[in-house]
Structure 1
Amino acid sequence: MRADTFFLLSDAALRSVIDRVQPGDFDRPVPASWSSFENPTVRHLLRSHAYDEAWIPGVLAGRSVADGDELRDADLLGDNPIASYDALNDAATALVQQGVDPASTFRFQYGDYPADEGLSHLAMYRATQAWSIAKHLDIPFRLPPELIDGLNEWVVPHAEEWRGFGVFPPEIEPPADADDETRVLCAMGFWVP
């Protein structure tokens, strides 16, 4: 699977979950490990994901936060957080669909990566967040089969490396009757019975 396809599948999965978040959930707490905000809520999480979407043009252009970060303090959610996120997601999706230069470098806070690897990092985060947010808010959601394929191709082979960085929790032994979604989540350490 191409890295841009993997990103687009993951980004669409996250949007499908965010679009079902209810305004009454905005003040619900989320695990502290999901956000850099103190006492984070769903609204903080939405702000973080809006920020990630808003940064896609910069990432594709080879910028990093070291070059300046006009988005950090911007109100990206306004009065309608879901619609604001969706607009930023639409713009990011359109840019990636136009094509990503495979020779470009993605400059993240934690290092520089070739475009394909950078896209896979962005995709992995979005896929795991889609599943985690849905589970946390009891939103019915399953990872689409194509996204599971992308996770198995781009992420699972590097799961131990991600664990070494503290990104993934320990691997979980899948139950004997585990389906493909459960197996990939167990490999990344995210599955919860």
Structure 2
Amino acid sequence: MELIEAFDAGLEEFGRRVHQVGPGQWTAGTPCTEWSVRDLVNHLTSEHLWAPWLLRGATLTEVGDRFDGDVLGDEPVAAWDKAVAESEPAFHRPGALESEVYTSGGLLGAGEYAWQMTTDLAVHAWDLARGIGADDTLDEDLAATVYGYIEPQAKAWQGAGVFAPPVKVPASAPVQDRLMGLLGRRP
């Protein structure tokens, strides 16, 4: 699966689960122990509000604090949909993944940024599904693609505190389970 296909699959997986959140589920816990369902959706919605700006070359200072705090308001699903309506075309713009973007970690290739966003979409789709009691099965090609991307660098990401320490999963387990275990989740 190519990067942009994986990104689109991640958007689909996460977005489908956002649309499954029931009225009483926004305060439910998730495998991200510090985040409720609302916190998790807010995190990804904020990331997708940032994306068009960063892909146009804006610096962190230029974006400022406009996407800090609660970006979901009274209509979390609509807020997610609006963020994606701007984020998706920004990633698909010709040449968008060949530029560089400013991130909190410094200047980063836009392709690498897209991989990080895709990873976040996939793993948090699983987290969200677990939080709301929905089917947590990810697109198998997406899980395999993200696993192939993240596996060589997982230790560095864990060392930086991006993901929890890995959870042991048998090598014969499905790729989704190996991905979640690698990222500190218990499949």
Q: Is the 8 A contact 2:91 2:97 kept in 1?
A: no
Local SS of the residue matching 1:107: strand
What is the CA RMSD across the aligned residues, in angstroms?
A: 2.4
What amino acid does structure 2 have at the position aligned with 1:129?
Answer: H
Residue 91 (structure 1) aligned with residue 115 (structure 2)? no
**Structure 2 alignment gaps of length 5 or more:** none
Write the letter of the residue equivalent to 1:130.
Answer: A
Tell me the distance in 1 between the aligned counterparts of 2:31 and 2:137.
21
Distance change in 2, residues 1:176/1:53 (3 Å): closer
Contact 2:100 2:108 in 1 (8 A): yes
Paired position in structure 1 for 2:25: 25
Look up the match of 2:45.
50
Q: Any conservation in 2 of the 1:64–1:109 contact (CA below 8 Å)? A: no
Q: 1:181 to 1:45 in 2, by over 3 A?
A: closer
Aligned residues: 187
Q: Please point out which of 99, 106, 114 is paired with 2:101.
A: 106
Quick one: distance in 1 between partners of 2:166 and 2:148?
Answer: 17
Moved over 4 A (4+): 29-34
* Alpha-carbon contact 1:4-1:100 (below 8 Å) kept: no
Deviation (angstroms), 1:80:
2.0
- Work out which of the residue numbers 116, 119, 125 in structure 1 matches 2:120: 125
Separation of aligned partners in 1, 2:105 and 2:141: 28
The CA distance in 1 between the partners of 2:57 and 2:169, in whole Å, is 39
Write out per-residue CA displacement over residues 105-141 of structure 1, whole angstroms, 9 at most, x where no aligned residue. 1211122211111111111112111111211221112
Distance 1:75 1:143 in 2: 27
Q: Which residue of 1 aligns with 2:11?
A: 11
TM-score (norm. length: structure 2): 0.85
Whether 1:134 and 2:129 are equivalent positions in the alignment is yes
- Structure 2: distance between partners of 1:73 and 1:186: 30
1:179 aligns with 2:179: no
- 1:93-112 CA distance string (max 9 Å, x none): 12223334343112111222
Code of the residue aligned with 2:8 in structure 1: it is L
Cα distance in structure 1, aligned partners of 2:32 and 2:172: 32
Change (3 A) 1:33 1:141: closer
